[in-house]
Amino acid sequence: MEDNFLEVMELQAEEALEFIQELTEVSIAVDLMSVGEDGGKALKYTFTRTDDDISNALIVNFTVSGEATFDTDYSQEGAEEFNATTGKVTIAEGETTATVTITPIADSEIESDELVKLTVAPGSDYIFDADTSGMAKSAIANDDVKLNVDWAKQFGNNGSGYQYLTLNEEGNTYVTGWFTGQATIGNNTLTPEGNSDTFVAKFDKDGNARWAKNFGGNTSEEIRGIAVDNEGSTYIAGKFRDTAFFGNDSLEGGEFGNTFVAKLDNNGDTLWAKKLDDNNLYQYTAGIDIDNKGNAYITGKFENTKTSGNTTLEGGKDSKGDVFVGKLNNKGDVLWVKDYEYDAVSDITVDAEGNTYIAGRFEDTVIFGNNTLEGGESGDAFVAKFDSNGDVIWAKDFDGDDGYDRASSITLDSEGNIYVAGEFREANESGDIFVAKLNSKGDVLWEEEFETSNNNSIGAEGIAVDDIGNSYVTGYYFGESISVGNFMLYSQNDKSSQGRDSFIAKLDKEGEVKWVQNLGGNNPEDISDIDVNDDKIYITGDFYRAGEVTFGENTFTTQNKYDSFLVKLTETKPEAEKEKPEVILSVNSNSIAENTNNQITYTFTRKGDITEILTVNFTVDGSANFNQDYRLTGAKEFNGSEGKVTFKAGEATANVNLNIIDDTIIEQDETVALSLAMGSNYTVSKTDVAANTITIINDDKEIIVDEKPDIPVDNRDNDNDRNDEKPDTPVDKGNNDEDDKNEDVLNGNDNNDNDDDDDDTEFSLASKGKQTFKFKSKFKNGKSSIKFSFKSKNVEELKEIAVVTVDDDEGTIDGISPDAEGYLEAALNRSKSIFSLLGNIPNGFADIDIEKVLEFSSETSFRFLSVKGGTLQGVKSGKVNKSQVTLSSTDFLQVTESGKNNFDLDFAGVQIKMKFDAEAKKAIGSGLQETMEVIDLREMTTKQTATFTVYREAAFENVIGFYQVTSEDGGIDTDGDGTADIFVGDAGYAQAAVQNRIASIDLKVGNEATNKITGELEAGAIIVPFLMVKGTLEEFDEIFFPYIGANSDGIDHVMMLGDNTFGFEDLPGGGDRDFNDIIAKVEFTNDVIAQVDSNNVST
């Protein structure tokens, strides 16, 4: 019985094993190691079955795990059943794979990377592949910005006091405020003379305290602003009582306080201190700023009477008081002071022209010059602009509901736009924050609201703007959370503290919130001021209640009742959260003969960030053997099956070369398959293995002796040998000869023309590798012309095509080879524009008609260059990235010879016809247009009549004008003596251009319409086009010139589309860089200058 039982058990085990062996194996893989949360890409998890019989569908179970949450962090497609922990996917009948696609859901929460892990779960019809883990995982990389702390400093204080800061161009930080008790700043210990003193301290760019000074008297002082000039002198403004000492200067004040302004030198020593008023009941100073001449502008509030210099102001007699604005020169003398009734002011700023801007709130009615503002019951916010003499230009109010509204902070960008932050409250609510951008006329361009939860208190403390118009707002909120745009912040404070949280928010120039972040930690803190410079953010403020404040790795503990901080921040993405570059693999050929000296090149290309060194993994498979059939060069590591290749910093490509070893073994053709492998700091584009597999063609054959050798072939073409490969042809004996007809007949051409082209001119493709051309003219003076015609395009964005003269067939320039450092800069210096092509063409404009004639000296070699999404001038000025430049090579330029001295070119999607043309004629006015967007009529001796056609693809009402300059550098003669009086970059250049324009030729047109006018241009001059944006000749928002130095934003706004065809970009900062907003085409009645021939060559 026992033996029978064992036999049965063994039989059942064998049957079970056979059943398991018959089950199909299932594996799982994912195509990318990670995807960015906002990257627009998805993860593809592929389930694969390995079974000869795939006639039936197979349902595979899987589990879901990882930090990422379904429906919050990602969505899925491809699974029939899917929840937070499990799922099912069906591999259809006849198929071996099924895919589940995980698509990240972008959110605004500042969080860490989150994994999505799918694992094959048990099933009755399959097992998971034993050679795999049965699991695949990938990360959704958080790309929400963090703020890194460069440095943070703490200094003590025993009482509540606001701090203010400012920066200079060298990266030094100047901070001021008031303190009680002792304050330690770096190695400086300050002791107040009275209840509280003012302090000023300077920190270098590394956060070291260079000096610290305190000023005050026997009672108390308060500070309300700081500014620094180009020489490092510091200006402060505030309030004092009784007697205050500033170095050797002492000021005598009243019982209720007086306004002071003081100037310190670069070492913090007092140069002068001034008291600005007498005999008043109450006053305060709200801020100070300076212009580029060192004049100081202050604002504040006073009651009763205020005397500043020779000016006496009569203030309000009640508690509301009046606002004053004043200007002092760099010696402290009062130049003017003005007052305005019944309002409160919070901040002041000054532009480069000395115009002053103030922000605050008012109740009832307030009059600014001719501007009367009607306030709400509890007050409205306002902004007012004054000229350099203190006269009101305009005043605007922000009319809320019946609640309390206040503009608390104001600043300007480089284009003269105004940024304001403040608070507004509806009835019976604690309020919200607003941020608004106004143009120079006070019109609101956009506004954004910050809201708190549960009607808790909130406030804006400061606003700053960077060089490209991003604004940074700091403030505080009470309660559980704050909503900013699409972002949500949650309180870091302990619930028991009932304190407030501080935050910083960033908005772009269009008002979109880019990020918002808490700062400080879980105890109450206050950020009182903010500034930005060179991508660095500086904040100052204080923290209190015997707690801690944390900035990065710096944790400060209160030493006094109140302590102050100064912090320098950098807006960066930590390494783990950077948008990882995507790597793509390509190969230049799929086969190679064994005995060739050539090599196969695998090119690894990364998209995205290329600023840092990147090492990428790869694998090699195939029937060929490493070191027997091939070698690899260019790899950092390679062991025969796995390798690494490294991208240099700043380079987008890296190459691995496959070199074939020639042997004498008679064998089959062999394969090498190189594929990308995943890595932690990059993503991998799905690799088509077949496309990256190459075949090594074996050429070793058995030797067969031919007893009857072939008759030798005479390849010469100059005798009567009957064994010639081709019959002799007559020798070409010159231009326009009868032998040309004979040659045409022999070549099968019916080309009985008159030889318009010079037969002796040589125009050829000199180097296929570098795609360089050689031009050799037989004209007596050694010059002739090539005509470029635009045929068609397959691009959807702006592209400028240029020619680059080189020194030899390999493309060398001044001894710099194409692969050497500095070559691109050398090529840009040698480049001349041919024409530019628009991605979006306005109605009526036909770029198919664009032509360009360029003149070349004999023995000239050249290649091509293109700029994608920008202009040559923009690249040369540093405003367009050099990565947008492409040089001609076999990868980007395809060349077809379409006839003698004729070539068809396809340069990265742009088709061009290039032809030597002895009769080519250079267009009038085009002499400088290879490098400048102007009309050059200096060779003309009589007035030129022209037709001006204008096209438009823009919402703005723009006007194109033309003015005359004395030379190529753009100087304008304003007094008619023939010499330039004002130059590019000078103040008033734009005004001079408008005043001296050719008044009869002002071009404008409706949107998507075409307009033509006829006009005359003076001979012997250079005529320059310019664009007046969104307005009339008398009043417009912006004006842009071909000279970048004359443009307020330092950006290129004019592009040559072809001969005498100008495309304009009308948005500041370069806008969308499409240069199609308005186009002017100028066609002269005599549309060409003299024919280029041996006796007359234009220069």
Per residue in 657-716, pLDDT tens? 998 887 666 567 889 999 888 787 888 765 555 557 888 887 544 333 333 333 333 443
Q: Supply the pLDDT for residue 95.
A: 94
Of 653, 673, 697, which one is at a domain's C-terminal end? 697
Q: How many angstroms separate the CA atoms of 846 and 663, rounded?
A: 59
Half-sphere exposure of 175 (CA within 13 A, CB side): 35
Question: Is the pLDDT reported for residue 1018 higher than 50?
Answer: yes
Q: How many angstroms separate the CA atoms of 383 and 410, rounded?
A: 9
3-state SS class at 525: strand
Lowest mean pLDDT among 201-205, 339-343, 372-376, 1035-1039: 372-376
Q: In this structure, are 880 and 829 located in the same domain?
A: yes
Cβ atoms of residues 346 and 286 within 8 Å: yes
Q: How many angstroms separate the CA atoms of 1018 and 1016, rounded?
A: 7
Q: What is the pLDDT of residues 226-239, one digit of tens each?
A: 999 988 899 999 88
Banded model confidence at residue 463, pLDDT cuts 50, 70, 90: very high
Question: Is the pLDDT reported for residue 731 higher than 50?
Answer: no
Identify the top-confidence range among 530-544, 573-587, 886-900: 530-544
Cβ atoms of residues 888 and 726 within 8 Å: no
The answer to whether residue 374 sits within a structural domain is no
Lowest mean pLDDT among 181-185, 348-352, 469-473: 181-185
State residue 209 phi and psi, 5-degree precision: -75, 115
Q: Give the mean pLDDT of 823-833.
A: 90
Q: Give the mean pLDDT of 797-822.
A: 89
Identify which of 1071, 1072, 1041 has the alpha carbon closest to the alpha carbon of residue 873.
1041
CATH number, position 597:
2.60.40.2030
Q: In this structure, are 791 and 691 located in the same domain?
A: no
Q: What is the pLDDT of residues 502-519, one digit of tens each?
A: 899 999 999 988 888 888
Half-sphere exposure of 854 (CA within 13 A, CB side): 24
**Pairing of β 311-314 and β 305-308:** antiparallel
Q: Which residue has the tokens 């934003």?
A: 1049
Query: Of all residues in the chain, what percent carry a pLDDT higher than 70?
Result: 78
Q: Supply the pLDDT for residue 268.
A: 93
Banded model confidence at residue 182, pLDDT cuts 50, 70, 90: confident
Q: How many angstroms separate the CA atoms of 489 and 480, rounded?
A: 8
Q: How many angstroms separate the CA atoms of 545 and 551, rounded?
A: 18
Question: Is the pLDDT reported for residue 543 higher than 90?
Answer: no
Q: In this structure, are 815 and 677 located in the same domain?
A: no
Q: Supply the pLDDT for residue 220.
A: 73
- Mean pLDDT, the chain, as a whole number? 80
Question: Is the pLDDT reported for residue 302 higher than 50?
Answer: yes
The answer to whether residue 534 sits within a structural domain is no
Q: What is the pLDDT of residues 80-138, one digit of tens each?
A: 989 889 999 999 999 999 999 999 988 766 565 678 999 999 888 898 777 777 899 88
Question: Is the pLDDT reported for residue 796 higher than 70?
Answer: no
Identify which of 139, 140, 116, 121 has the alpha carbon closest to the alpha carbon of residue 47.
121
Cβ atoms of residues 1049 and 1070 within 8 Å: yes
Q: In this structure, are 892 and 809 located in the same domain?
A: yes
Q: How many angstroms separate the CA atoms of 640 and 627, rounded?
A: 8
Cβ atoms of residues 179 and 195 within 8 Å: no
The answer to whether residue 1 sits within a structural domain is no
Q: In this structure, are 896 and 965 located in the same domain?
A: no
Q: Supply the pLDDT for residue 452.
A: 75
Neighbours of 897 (CB within 10 A): 12
CA 110 distance to own-chain centroid: 23
Distances (CA, A) of 427 to 377, 378, 399: 10, 9, 14
Question: Is the pLDDT reported for residue 940 higher than 80?
Answer: yes
Of 917, 946, 981, which one is at a domain's C-terminal end? 917
Identify the top-confidence range among 160-169, 275-284, 722-731: 160-169
- Partnered with residue 918 across adjacent β-strands are none
Question: Is the pLDDT reported for residue 1076 higher than 90?
Answer: no
The answer to whether residue 891 sits within a structural domain is yes
The answer to whether residue 792 sits within a structural domain is yes
**Pairing of β 1022-1029 and β 935-936:** antiparallel
Q: What is the pLDDT of residues 949-997, one digit of tens each?
A: 999 988 788 999 999 999 888 999 998 888 889 999 888 899 999 999 9
Q: In this structure, are 785 and 890 located in the same domain?
A: yes
Q: In this structure, are 807 and 833 located in the same domain?
A: yes
Percentage helix, strand, coil for the chain under 3-state DSSP, each rounded to 5: 5, 50, 45
Q: Supply the pLDDT for residue 721.
A: 40
Question: Is the pLDDT reported for residue 756 higher than 60?
Answer: no
Q: In this structure, are 776 and 908 located in the same domain?
A: yes
Q: How many angstroms separate the CA atoms of 608 and 147, rounded?
A: 21
Question: Is the pLDDT reported for residue 549 higher than 70?
Answer: yes
Cβ atoms of residues 288 and 348 within 8 Å: yes
Domain of residue 1003, residue span: 935-1089
The answer to whether residue 856 sits within a structural domain is yes
- DSSP code of 1046? G
Q: Supply the pLDDT for residue 850.
A: 78
Q: In this structure, are 881 and 1019 located in the same domain?
A: no
Domain count, the chain: 4
Q: Supply the pLDDT for residue 712.
A: 39
Q: What is the DSSP string of 963-996?
A: EEESSTT--B-SSSSSS--B-TTSTTHHHHHHHT
Q: Give the mean pLDDT of 776-789.
A: 71
pTM for the whole structure: 0.47
Identify the top-confidence range among 3-12, 78-87, 576-585, 836-845: 78-87
Q: What is the pLDDT of residues 850-882, one digit of tens each?
A: 788 888 877 889 999 998 888 888 888 777 888
**321 conformational bin, left if phi > 0, alpha if psi -120 to 50, beta if neither:** left
Helices and strands counted in the chain (H then E): 5, 82
Higher pLDDT, 717 or 21: 21
Q: How many angstroms separate the CA atoms of 67 and 63, rounded?
A: 14
Q: Give the mean pLDDT of 1026-1053.
A: 86
3-state SS class at 606: strand
The answer to whether residue 813 sits within a structural domain is yes
Q: Give the mean pLDDT of 1047-1074.
A: 86
Q: In this structure, are 904 and 968 located in the same domain?
A: no
State residue 875 phi and psi, 5-degree precision: -65, -45
User: Which pair of tokens denotes residue 461?
Assistant: 């403390």
Q: In this structure, are 907 and 954 located in the same domain?
A: no
Q: Give the mean pLDDT of 387-398.
A: 88
The answer to whether residue 974 sits within a structural domain is yes
Identify the top-confidence range among 201-205, 559-563, 883-887: 201-205
Residue 846: which H helix or E strand, with range?
none
CA 913 distance to own-chain centroid: 34
Banded model confidence at residue 739, pLDDT cuts 50, 70, 90: very low
Of 660, 681, 697, which one is at a domain's C-terminal end? 697
Higher pLDDT, 466 or 216: 466
**Rg (the chain; Cα; Å):** 38
Q: In this structure, are 846 and 902 located in the same domain?
A: yes
Cβ atoms of residues 886 and 906 within 8 Å: no
Q: Supply the pLDDT for residue 341.
A: 67
3-state SS class at 476: strand
Q: What is the pLDDT of residues 984-1006, one digit of tens each?
A: 988 889 999 999 999 889 999 98
